[in-house]
Structure 1
Amino acid sequence: MTAAVSFPIWGTTARLLVTDPKRLDAARAALDVELTAMGAACDRFRADSELSRLNAAAGRPVRVSALFARTLKRALEVAEATDGVVDPTVGAALVAAGYDRDIAEVDRGGPAPRLVRRRVAGWRTVRLDGQVVRLPRGVRLDLGATAKALAADQAAARAFADTGCGVLISLGGDIAVSGPPPDGGWRIRVTDDHRDDGSVASGQDVVITTGGLATSSVTVRCWRRGDQRLHHIIDPATGVPAASCWRTASVAAASCVEANAAATAALVKGWVAIPWLTDLRLPTRLVRLDGRPFTLAGWPEGTAVAIEGTTGPVSPGGRAG
């Protein structure tokens, strides 16, 4: 038997499953600790978060918490490992595109924004010295993807340590598991939308037992202004929403951070993602704009077939160009 609970968080849905129903409350408490801490550190839409204070520092050095420093370090590692394709200095570009508040509150009226195609400042401009961070004046960070995935990894590990049972945590499609899985493994529905209840024909059921699985998509966090359809995946080379040939990328890896980094990079890289992910040997499901799925590196074509994630681009030796 498993037990589960779901609740809204950060403009998406958190879902917690445990293999021992008696330990659900303890696992939820562990999850809440991690979510509260990560929100206070990295929530771009909270004026009192560490990230907001850093973005407003106008080039001055800012001392941050150990959690923020660890999250930023992971984001910089992701940027290096993906050749800058997944870059945390896209904050200003997201604001320019209209993503300046929680996704449910994004302005969907009025004329299309006048987006300027310009490369973002780039992760190499960020200075992290222990727990002191300095951004160039005018540069704004967005740690959303890495922070959410890292929160899932840390919460799953904490919940397992506190309960001793198997745990699965999903934060809007960023999934981490820890501890012994249920018989047959953790069955996961992979679709464009993490809210899919199984009715979407383009979805697929898979099973994982360890590590993480992440899905990045341009179909959920999206909005329209005027004649422009916009979304939250920014191409750092242009500073505007990526013109991807994929609408969804799902990747299994050794951790949720690894999986998220690869999935997000795939959307920006487009067709080049195929040899990149193949070289990394990361099981991947890519969905083209016409809805046709494309699998590689061991991702199963059948239903509810187990997949095992491998070391991704953020681990030592995992970098691929």
Structure 2
Amino acid sequence: MAPSTVWTTWGSEVEVRVTEWAALTEAADIVADALAQVQAVCDLGRGDAEIHAVNQAQGTPVRVGTRLGGLIRAALWAARMTDGAVSPLIEETAPGAVPARTPPTFEDIRVDGDTVFAPFGAFLDVTGIAKAATAHRAARRAADDLECGVLVRIDDLVATWGHCPIGGWQVEVGRDATGRSPQVEVRSGSALATARAPAVHAADVDSVPRVTDAGLESVTVVADDGLWAYSAAAAAAAQGVAALRWLGENDLAARVAYRHGSVRTTDAWLHLPPYDHVA
């Protein structure tokens, strides 16, 4: 079994696995530092987080740092890719403010260089996006710096980089009807994210539309990067009964589990080794 360490930060369980024992402490430090840096600019629970300046501007352009600007761009990209199913906008009203007559959408938010414009009535939360993007970026940095294989898990999102351990990176994808926890092998350089219904994602506090139950238990997506895996899984969960069709139309390698015990997979999941042996 690969050496690993687990801790909790920013409301999430974080796990780091490496292929070399000697690299574990430093790899964990790299991941912890990366998370701390993004948390400092976008954690709504911190009074000094830079994102508050954007939310308080209410129609006035605001200059932001490179890190927050990049996270907002990533969140807008995810919103465009999922037709707004995953959005950085949250429902909130400033004290004493009159609600906007026409609620803003993610398409009303603009980022030009280091300047962000969010219209009146827009409040942003990029927490889930920040964690997903950071997981993959931190895994890559740790693997490159330490010259070993690295897996980073933040709640239900896994990102890998570097060479794999013997037997590959084995990751649980949720319990089935028998109570077992099926595992898949996540290839190096790829990511896996699971969104659970009706709560879309344990690590996510972004605004994702609630949908009718539809009997969904979970949606698991494998993609080339953590941001897209996370966004696609969350968006699919928001599709309800149409989840499997949406995943197939977007050519995603995905597994959909239902509460009554059945599991359905997309063609891309079945034909993308090494996932073809897992139901």
Query: TM-score, normalised to structure 1's length?
Result: 0.75
Spell out, residue by residue over 1:183-218, the C-alpha distance to the aligned partner (whole angstroms, 9 max, x if none).
1210001117xxxxx998153111111210001113
In structure 2, distance between residues paired with 1:85 and 1:278: 16
**What amino acid does structure 2 have at the position aligned with 1:307?**
Y
Q: 1:201 aligns with which of 163, 169, 179?
A: 179
Pairing 1:74-223 to 2, within 5 Å after superposition: 74-89=74-89, 91-92=90-91, 121-191=104-174, 201=179, 203-210=181-188, 211-218=190-197
Q: 1:285 aligns with which of 255, 258, 263?
A: 255
Q: Displacement, 1:159?
A: 0.6
In structure 2, distance between residues paired with 1:26 and 1:295: 37
Query: Would the alpha carbon gap of residues 220 and 79 (structure 1) be closer, same or farther in structure 2, given more than 3 Å must change?
Result: closer
In structure 1, distance between residues paired with 2:86 and 2:183: 27
Instruction: Answer with 159-168 or 41-50: which moved more.
Output: 41-50
Query: Would the alpha carbon gap of residues 221 and 272 (structure 1) be closer, same or farther in structure 2, given more than 3 Å must change?
Result: closer
**What residue in structure 1 maps to residue 96 of structure 2?**
none
In structure 1, distance between residues paired with 2:84 and 2:257: 23
Spell out, residue by residue over 1:209-228, the C-alpha distance to the aligned partner (whole angstroms, 9 max, x if none).
12100011136689xxxxxx
Instruction: Answer with 281-290 or 161-170: which moved more.
Output: 281-290
In structure 2, distance between residues paired with 1:35 and 1:233: 17
Whether the 8 Å CA contact 1:233–1:264 is kept in 2: the answer is no
In structure 2, distance between residues paired with 1:50 and 1:191: 36
In structure 1, distance between residues paired with 2:196 and 2:252: 18
**What residue in structure 2 maps to residue 243 of structure 1?**
212
Q: Displacement, 1:249?
A: 1.0
**What residue in structure 1 maps to residue 235 of structure 2?**
265
Query: TM-score, normalised to structure 2's length?
Result: 0.85
In structure 1, distance between residues paired with 2:232 and 2:84: 12
Q: Which runs of 5+ in 1 are unaligned?
A: 96-117, 193-197, 223-230, 309-321
Spell out, residue by residue over 1:50-82, the C-alpha distance to the aligned partner (whole angstroms, 9 max, x if none).
222321222222211111111111111111111
Spell out, residue by residue over 1:137-156, the C-alpha distance to the aligned partner (whole angstroms, 9 max, x if none).
22111212211100101110
SS in 2 for 1:92: coil
SS in 2 for 1:151: helix
In structure 2, distance between residues paired with 1:221 and 1:283: 18
In structure 2, distance between residues paired with 1:190 and 1:284: 11
In structure 2, distance between residues paired with 1:200 and 1:48: 47
Query: Would the alpha carbon gap of residues 133 and 33 (structure 1) be closer, same or farther in structure 2, given more than 3 Å must change?
Result: same
Query: Would the alpha carbon gap of residues 180 and 4 (structure 1) be closer, same or farther in structure 2, given more than 3 Å must change?
Result: same
The alignment-based identity, stated in percent, is: 30
For the aligned residues, what is the CA RMSD? 2.9
